[in-house]
Amino acid sequence: MQWPGAYCDAKGKKCCFPGSGKPTTDFSIHGLWPNYNDGGYPSNCDNTKPFDESEIEELESRLEKDWPSLACPNIGTKFWAHEWNKHGTCSSFSSQQEYFQAGLDLKDQTNLLQALKDANIEPNDEFYNVEDMKEAIKEKIGYYPWIECNRDSDGNSQLYQVYICVDANGKDLIKCPVLPSALANNGDFHLFYFVQQWLGSYCDQHGERCCFPDSGKPAAEFSIYGLWPYYNDGSFPYNCGGGNFNEALLKPMQDSLRKEWPSFTCPQIGRKFWVHEWNKHGTCSKSVLGEVAYFKAALALKNRVNILQALTRAGIRPNNQMYPLKAVKKAIARATGFHPWVVCNSNSQGVSQIWQVSMCVDRTGTRLINCPFVPKGQGDCGSQIKFPSY
C-alpha cells in the first residue's frame, strides 16, 4: 500500500490523477506481489495469460478508487496490466478477477489509515516515530509491517509505502519472514550500532598518535566513538543531509559530551568530531532521532553499557596482558545480556589489541538487541588480544 501524498510530494516527482479525479485521502494499493523466501521475487511468469480488461470490468470502478495509477502521464488501465503481467501471472490465482479482487479485499481488511488515526498519527505534515507507526498497524492487523520511506523536496524522510505479508493463497495475513530484497537499502535504516573505543588502543595503534582535548587526558574509560545507523544487510547509509548541525542545541549537554564523547585525533578537532558524527551518521537517522535526541541517546547508552566495569569484574584489566577474545565477549555479554562485536587494531609491534566494542540498538536508540549481522568492513581480532594500559 502507498500513501499518495508521499508519492506526489517525492523529490523530483509529480503525480497525475486518473480520469475519475483526485482519489480520496487514503492509502491506495500499489501491488500484490509474490515473493520467494529469500526476499527475491519472480516476474512475468506466463505470457500466455496476458492482461484482458474485460475480465475485470465489474471491478473497474473500485480499482479506480483503491488501486489507481498516479504516474505522469497517467497510464490508466495500463497500470493494472503491468501489475497482472509482472506479478499476477506468478501468483496462485487462476484468473485476473481473483487476483485483483484479493488485493481489494486485503485493503479492506487492513485499513491502514484508520489504524494510524487510532494511534493519533494523522496525515498533517507532522513528524512521527516510525516505530509508533509500526506498533499502530500491528495493533490493528496483528502483525508488524515493513515501512518504506521516500524524501520530499526538502530532503525530509516521509512515509511512502507499507508492506504487509500474506500467505500464498493471497487471503490470510502472516508474519513477514524476510524483508523484500528491493527494500534492503531503501534509505530506511534497520538498527544502530553503538560503538565505544578504548583510548589506550587508539593511542597505541601502529602509525597513529593521539592528542588529548583541552580539558586534559580523560579518565581511564571506554569513550563513545559513534552511534551509527545500519541497513539490514550490514552496510550503512551516510551523509544523508537535511539536518545541519546546530551546536547551540547541545550546550546543555556539552560537559557530558566532552567527557564521554571526546576526540583524540591530531591535530585536536574538538567539537568538529560531533559535527562529523552528526553529519555523517546522525542525519541518516533523523526520521527517528533529531540532533538533541541523537546525542542524548548515545550518552544514555554509555551510562547503561559500562564496558570497563564488565571486563574488570571478569578479571580482565588494562594491564598490557593478553586475554582470550572469547573471555572478553563473554564478560560483556554477561553484563549487558547481549553479545558484542569486538574490533581490534594492532600496536607498533603488530600485536592484536582490543579497540572498539559495538552493541546493537533498536531504531529508537534506546533498547539493546541481538545483532543480526556483522557490520561490513570491520577488522578481525586474534584469538588472544591485548588490553593495553592507559
| 30 labelled catalytic | yes
Catalytic residue among 30, 64, 148, 277: 30
- For CATH 3.90.730.10, the residue range(s) in the chain are 4-183, 191-387
Percentage of the chain modeled with pLDDT above 90: 53
| pTM for this prediction | 0.55
Average pLDDT, rounded, for the chain: 87
Alpha-carbon span 294 to 286, nearest angstrom: 8
Residues 116-129: tens digit of each pLDDT: 999 999 999 888 87
pLDDT band for 268, please (50, 70, 90 cuts). Answer: low
| 281 labelled catalytic | no
Residues 52-78: tens digit of each pLDDT: 999 999 999 999 999 998 888 767 789
CATH topology for the 4-183 domain: Ribonuclease Rh; Chain A (3.90.730)
Catalytic residue among 83, 148, 260, 291: 83
Q: Cell for 227?
A: 552511534
Q: Which residues of 155-164 are buried (b: 16+ CB within 10 A; e: fewer)?
A: ebbbbbbbbb
| 83 labelled catalytic | yes
Catalytic residue among 57, 82, 87, 206: 87
Q: Cell for 153?
A: 523536496
Residues 252-266: tens digit of each pLDDT: 999 999 899 988 877
State the pLDDT at residue 50: 92
Q: What pairing do the DSSP bridges indicate for beta strands 384-387 and 321-324?
A: antiparallel
Alpha-carbon span 55 to 88, nearest angstrom: 13
Alpha-carbon span 291 to 293, nearest angstrom: 6
CATH topology for the 191-387 domain: Ribonuclease Rh; Chain A (3.90.730)
